[in-house]
């Protein structure tokens, strides 16, 4: 799997994929991440009920089902994108969390949250880039698996 | 509120441990596909994973939904720590800088909660 990642990155540099295909893969990635953000919504709904009550179990089952679908879809999407791009774009979940919190649960947004969110997202993107530099330098390692 | 946030953070930690167990098993040779999935380590990893999801839901009783993905970013700390401990991955300055940025972001965000 590892060699594949580095290979994909190298390939991309040598012969850029067709733009339409790259955009398609990116859209698919964001569809998957968008879906993933719903696990938070379901989890937050589940939290409103007693553990083992029927609504709790229904929402919890929803969370687990979505995580399963997400894991499978993620595996497919990363076949068509450099892993660095895929993981860096994961930072978008910070934005979805704030948006769903605001729209569905009436949470407030202020300057601290916006700036904090941007800094966290920047940190994640920087981390993924640092990790890919590391992978290119030494192709024996892998990211600690985290597709769930 | 802080206690609930701590539960969420602990869930992220537990989840990282479960990933380490899964990766360690994925790197091993197994006699059969059944043994690849049904061995104590993998089963325990999935128990941890389910425990982690329950912890995040419990935490959501008090923390805002928007804080979830922010706290989730602490997983990168464990990627670095466990990567170095168990998989001989390098800890680079760039990674440390990124982690500092992530932690700073979490602190800034928390000021607004």
In whole angstroms, how far apart are CA A20 and each of A12, A23, A81, B106? Answer: 14, 5, 13, 36
Q: What is the extent of the structural domain holding B67?
A: 2-111
**pLDDT, mean over chain A:** 85
Tell me if residue A10 falls in helix, strand or coil: helix
Q: For the residues B71-92, what does the mean pLDDT come to?
A: 93
Q: Which residue is associated with the tokens 């949250």?
A: A113
CA distance B12 to chain A (A): 11
- B74: its two tokens: 């602490």
DSSP state string for A2-51 = HHHHHHHHHHHHHSPPPHHHHHHHHHHHHHHHHHHHHHHHHHHHHTTS-T
Residue B12 has pLDDT above 70, yes or no: yes
CA distance B37 to chain A (A): 16
Buried/exposed code over A98-117 (b: 16+ C-beta within 10 A; e: otherwise): bebbbeeeebeeeeebeebb
Q: How many structural domains is chain B composed of?
A: 1
The model's confidence at residue A17, banded by pLDDT at 50, 70 and 90, is low
Total H helices, total E strands in chain A:
6, 0
The number of CA neighbours under 13 Å toward the Cβ of A72 is 5
| pLDDT for res A16 | 59
Q: Mutate which of A64, A131, A137, A141 to disrupt the B interface (most B C-beta within 10 Å)?
A: A131
What burial class does residue B28 get, using C-beta atoms within 10 Å of its C-beta: 0-12 exposed, 13-18 middle, 19+ buried? exposed
Is A96 at the interface with chain B, CB within 8 A?
Answer: yes
Cβ–Cβ contacts within 10 Å for residue A34, how many? 12
Nearest Cα to Cα of residue A3 among A145, A139, A147, A143: A139
Is B32 at the interface with chain A, CB within 8 A?
Answer: no
Q: What is the pLDDT of residues A91-117, one digit of tens each?
A: 999 999 999 999 999 999 999 999 999
The number of CA neighbours under 13 Å toward the Cβ of A81 is 23
Residues B66 and A114 sit within 8 Å (Cβ to Cβ): no
ipTM for the assembly:
0.91
Residues A109 and B109 sit within 8 Å (Cβ to Cβ): no
């Amino acid at each position: 799997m590892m060699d594949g990642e580095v290979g994909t990155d190298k390939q991309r540099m040598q012969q850029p994929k067709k733009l339409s295909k790259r955009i398609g893969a990116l859209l698919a990635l964001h569809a998957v991440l968008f879906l993933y953000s719903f696990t938070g919504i379901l989890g937050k709904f589940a939290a409103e009920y007693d553990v083992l009550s029927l609504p709790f179990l229904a929402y919890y089952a929803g969370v687990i089902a979505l995580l399963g679908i997400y894991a499978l879809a993620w595996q497919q999407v990363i076949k068509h994108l450099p892993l660095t791009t895929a993981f860096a774009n994961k930072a978008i979940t910070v934005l979805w969390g704030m948006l769903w919190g605001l729209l569905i649960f009436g949470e407030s947004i202020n300057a601290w949250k916006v700036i904090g969110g941007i800094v966290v997202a920047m940190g994640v993107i920087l981390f993924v880039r640092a990790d890919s530099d590391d992978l290119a330098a030494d192709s024996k390692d892998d990211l600690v698996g985290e597709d769930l | 509120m802080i206690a609930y946030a701590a539960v969420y953070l602990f869930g992220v930690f537990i989840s990282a441990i479960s990933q380490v167990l899964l990766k360690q098993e994925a790197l091993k040779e197994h006699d059969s596909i059944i043994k690849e999935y049904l061995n104590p380590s993998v089963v325990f990893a999935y128990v941890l994973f389910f425990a982690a999801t329950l912890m995040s839901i419990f935490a959501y009783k008090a923390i805002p939904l928007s804080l979830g993905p922010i706290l989730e970013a602490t997983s990168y700390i464990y990627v670095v720590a466990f990567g170095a401990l168990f998989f001989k991955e390098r800890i680079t300055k760039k990674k440390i800088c990124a982690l500092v940025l992530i932690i700073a972001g979490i602190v800034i965000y928390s000021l607004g909660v």
